[in-house]
């Protein structure tokens, strides 16, 4: 891939496709992680003397018109605050943008345009025509073949990979290509089905695969435990059993919790009861791992040469069920090996437990992170490589 350092930006019209798809509540950005990650690239282009346009999507609005609820206005405000300069948000930009060298403008949500999702080539060409140079830096959207990603890259006069995208790919490569051993992956979340291909890809790479959340429940059932009224996927029990066998066959392991925290209702005020695994009552649900399991799994994580973390271990948003995820988050932070984390829930947990500065790399991506781990080729990266 061509990188930003191989392109002369001075006096050029530079379009940066970033992923500023930040969570917004009541018109306020609630996590600025993605915006902060985009700053070095924006500063680099401005310092080089470029006329800078930043493009992003936000949420999943209906195409074909403006919708205040999906406006990038809160992002423009946050970006301005972080850069210490005002950032103009341009509502109608597809037919041309006025911007001078040294100036910065943010283009309104690219998903308002008809044809974005379908990767319409006419639309992609018009986007490409706005600039002399495209800096594609939206790793978190690299798994989407849309007009402002794959299409735009293919039609740009000059396209290069941005520094954030390069860092994301290098970190994933470091964790996956020839990891320091032991390699430990932590995969949490509600469903085996949504992470099945990730689990399958990882089982061949890791020494220990720690599963959490609803995913762990399906594995517990596969291992012969009664999970009471817990959420699990019946259809995937055989698949989970097969993964356990595959791990054993290659000398790896999927360590399951020996104790769990349960509740009789899924509620933020629910009271936690510690149970040995397999002793869960039929009206109870497992909402976190127990203290003994947290200690054991944390020791595995701390001793790792490489840790790849996606997904929480329990319902960490509820006060009584945060401790499993917190203990593991602390263990990732304490680990002296290379640690990499990604995904929206994971980032929320990292922020909640204040461990961000002790994790080697935190990806801005969710879906793209998982697809990369699965070994899939991401359309935008493919286009950049071509």
Residue showing tokens 């003397």: 49
Reading the block at residue 188, the tokens are: 């949490």
367 annotated active-site: yes
Q: Is 156 in the site for ligand 3PG (CB under 6 A)?
A: no
Binding segment toward Mg ion, per CB under 5 A, in 77-85, 177-185, 257-265, 364-372: 364-372
Tell me the chain's radius of gyration from C-alpha atoms: 22
Q: Does the protein bind ligand 3PG through residue 244 (CB under 6 A)?
A: no
Handedness of CA 101, 106, 111, 113 (dihedral sign): negative
- Told to check if 311 binds ligand 3PG by CB under 6 A, we report no
Residue 160 token pair: 């290069």
What's the closest the beta carbon of residue 116 comes to ligand 3PG, in angstroms?
Answer: 10
Query: In the Cβ-directed half-sphere of 186, how many Cα atoms lie within 13 Å?
Result: 32
How far apart are CB 3 and ligand 3PG at their closest, in Å? 22
Query: Total binding residues for ligand 3PG by CB under 6 A?
Result: 8
Residues in contact with Mg ion, shown as a per-residue x/- string from 313 to 352 under the rule CB under 5 A: ----------------------------------------
Q: Is 64 a catalytic residue?
A: no
CA–CA gap between residue 107 and residue 120 (Å, rounded): 19
Handedness of CA 295, 298, 299, 302 (dihedral sign): negative
Q: Which residues of 319-328 are buried (b: 16+ CB within 10 A; e: fewer)?
A: ebbbbbbbbb
Query: How many residues belong to the site for Mg ion (CB under 5 A)?
Result: 2
Span of 67-75, 89-97, 310-318, 361-369 interacting with Mg ion by CB under 5 A? 361-369
Q: Is the peptide bond before 110 cis (omega within 30 degrees of 0)?
A: no
How far does Cα 16 stand from its chain's mean position? Answer: 20
Q: Does 23 bind Mg ion (CB under 5 A)?
A: no
Work out how close the CB of 373 gets to ligand 3PG at its nearest, in angstroms, rounded to a whole number: 14
- Asked if 144 is part of the footprint of ligand 3PG (rule: CB under 6 A), the reply reads yes
CA distance 140 to 124: 19
Q: Is 21 in the site for ligand 3PG (CB under 6 A)?
A: yes
Phi, psi at 210, each rounded to 5°: -95, 125
Q: Do the Cβ atoms of 116 and 98 come closer than 8 Å? A: no
d(C-alpha 136, C-alpha 65), whole Å: 25
Residue 307 C-beta: closest distance to Mg ion, Å: 23
Per the annotation, the verdict on 224 as an active-site residue is no
Select 221 or 365, whichever has its Cβ closest to ligand 3PG. Answer: 365
DSSP structural state of residue 166: H
Cβ proximity to Mg ion, 11 vs 367, nearer residue:
367
Q: What, of ligand 3PG, Mg ion, none, does residue 144 touch, CB below 5 to 8 Å by kind?
A: ligand 3PG
The CB-of-31 to Mg ion minimum distance in angstroms stands at 14
CA pair distance 26, 63, nearest whole angstrom: 22
Residue 19 interacting with ligand 3PG (CB under 6 A): yes
Q: How far apart are CA 1 and CA 381, in angstroms?
A: 8
**Comparison of 272 and 347: residue with beta carbon closer to Mg ion:** 347
Q: Give the tokens for residue 92.
A: 């109608």
Q: Is 378 in the site for ligand 3PG (CB under 6 A)?
A: no
Taking residues 112 to 141 in sequence order and writing x for each that binds ligand 3PG by CB under 6 A, - otherwise, the string is ----------------------------xx
Q: CA 138, 143, 149 angle in degrees (round to 5)?
A: 50
As measured in angstroms, the least distance from the Cβ of 370 to ligand 3PG is 10
- The catalytic residues are 34, 191, 344, 367
Contacts with ligand 3PG by CB under 6 A lie at 19, 21, 60, 140-141, 144, 366-367
């Amino acid at each position: 891939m061509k990188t930003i350092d191989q392109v002369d930006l001075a006096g050029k019209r530079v379009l940066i496709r970033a992923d500023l798809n930040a969570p917004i509540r009541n018109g306020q950005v609630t996590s600025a992680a993605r915006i902060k990650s985009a700053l070095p690239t924006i500063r680099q282009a401005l310092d080089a003397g470029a006329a800078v346009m930043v493009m992003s999507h936000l949420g999943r609005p209906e195409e074909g018109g403006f919708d205040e609820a999906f406006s990038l206005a809160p992002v423009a405000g946050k970006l301005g605050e972080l850069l210490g300069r005002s950032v103009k948000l341009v509502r109608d930009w597809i037919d041309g943008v006025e911007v001078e060298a040294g100036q910065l403008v943010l283009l309104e949500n690219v998903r308002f345009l008809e044809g974005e999702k379908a990767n319409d080539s006419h639309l992609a060409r018009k986007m490409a025509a706005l600039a002399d140079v495209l800096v594609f830096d939206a790793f978190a959207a690299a798994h989407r073949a849309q007009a402002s990603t794959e299409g735009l890259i293919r039609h740009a006069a000059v396209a290069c990979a941005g520094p954030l995208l390069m860092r994301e790919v290098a970190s994933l490569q470091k964790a996956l290509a020839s990891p320091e051993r032991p390699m430990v992956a932590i995969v949490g979340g509600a469903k085996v089905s949504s992470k099945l291909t990730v689990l399958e890809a990882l089982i061949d790479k890791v020494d220990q695969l720690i599963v959490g959340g609803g995913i762990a429940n399906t594995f517990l059932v596969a291992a012969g435990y009664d999970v009471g009224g817990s959420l699990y996927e019946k259809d995937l029990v055989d698949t989970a059993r097969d993964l356990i066998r595959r791990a054993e066959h290659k000398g790896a392991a999927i360590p399951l919790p020996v104790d769990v925290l349960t509740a009789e209702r899924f509620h933020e005020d629910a009271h936690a009861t510690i149970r040995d695994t397999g002793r869960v009552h039929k009206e109870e649900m497992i909402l976190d791992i127990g203290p003994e399991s947290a200690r054991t799994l944390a020791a595995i994580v701390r001793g790792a040469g490489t840790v790849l973390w996606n997904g929480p271990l329990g319902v960490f948003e509820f006060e009584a069920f945060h401790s499993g995820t917190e203990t593991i988050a602390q263990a990732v932070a304490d680990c002296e090996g290379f640690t990499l984390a990604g995904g929206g829930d994971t980032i929320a947990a990292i922020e909640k437990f204040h461990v961000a500065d002790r994790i080697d790399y935190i990806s801005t991506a969710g879906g793209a992170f998982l697809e990369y781990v699965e070994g899939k080729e991401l359309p935008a990266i493919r286009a950049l490589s071509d």
